[in-house]
Structure 1
């Protein structure tokens, strides 16, 4: 596999120190890219196939799934392309830049870690939020540090809302008893209904 963790190399008879020295040499020689601690990607042109940044995002931080801007763009709910993978995780929040991309991870509570599925992205499978959950995650994380406004909602420039499932949206809202999220969620639902008319 082009993307691997150094622990996978324990099947070989060489010592762990030897393996780490060899990995460092391959990185210096441009044959490997170190994604983050322990994770490596075979560099082009040595890798047998392209590995999507989305696959890298799913793999090197677990548990996580793609959400927020990247998922909204993937589902066509916003007009902008999101070049950098945005994910949510129950692990700590972190960002790191590697392989030409900024990988962004936002923390959510385990109770909210749902509403995603395996989806084909090119020829590879990724874990990605449903459209409704991607927007819900965006709203939830925004409200942790800001006050909600319709202006913020308009600035998202939501589109292609014909198949947006408001029943799912309401189900996600029921996950929390926080009044701020429930009020904002209700406004979002009204906004989507208006946009469809």
Structure 2
């Protein structure tokens, strides 16, 4: 059996256990030696420990950084700056795929681009997210959730309303028109999950700025 036949049918992104299972089924005994050989020959590429992608000659599409962000250091969801940019809330594109997780913050360089994971409370990783079905699929935050995640990971808390406006529109460069389109009711519900006085203060200031009564 050739190495191409060995890897036939595997997805572009390959969890280590899937690769090991395939090698076991094909009768390999020194699995790690075989994996190293597949990497050396370019049939697969190592993303990180226990995660691989098919090499350029075998894959039918580019590896999905977003799928990898949600799975190789998961559970995680694509959020933060990337979502804010894509949804028109901030003007500047980001170089990395940004995701949130309850694990320790870290970054990963891959042959396909970089991933940055940021820490939020475990209970707030998935509320306010949805599944993107385009293969291979991934979990993505709504713009409301992405903004709350971004505010949570920033250590700075404005001390008054004037500083808050400067922070939101000059430092974060949030688009005012896009902000007005956000669902503040939904944001308030999501904010309570963080159990963070800082986040609740931001919600209060958003309501004040938009002229929404703070019930």
| Superposed pair shares fold, TM > 0.5 | yes
Q: 1:95 to 1:177 in 2, by over 3 A?
A: closer
**TM score, norm. by length of structure 1:** 0.84
- Tell me by how many angstroms 1:120 deviates: 4.2
Gaps of 5+ in 2: 1-10, 159-163
Mapped partners of 2:110, 2:92: distance in 1: 22
Q: Distance in 1 between matches of 2:132 and 2:168?
A: 27
Q: Distance in 2 between matches of 1:26 and 1:47?
A: 14
Residue by residue over 1:140-166, the C-alpha shift from the partner in whole angstroms, topping out at 9 and shown as x without a partner, is 111xx3233332211222233353111
Cα contact 2:43–2:58 (8 A) shared by 1: yes
SS of equivalent residue, structure 2 residue 138? strand
The Cα shift of 1:124 comes to 4.1
Alpha-carbon contact 2:80-2:147 (below 8 Å) kept: yes
Q: Which runs of 5+ in 1 are unaligned?
A: none
2:153 is the alignment partner of 1:153: no
- TM normalised by structure 2 equals 0.78
Aligned-residue CA RMSD in angstroms? 2.1
From 177, 183, 186, give the equivalent of 1:165: 183
- Establish whether residue 87 from structure 1 lines up as the match of residue 105 from structure 2: no
CA distance in 2, matches of 1:105, 1:86: 6
- 2:182 aligned with 1:182: no
Which structure has the bigger radius of gyration? Answer: 2
How far apart are the structure 2 equivalents of 1:124 and 1:32?
Answer: 18
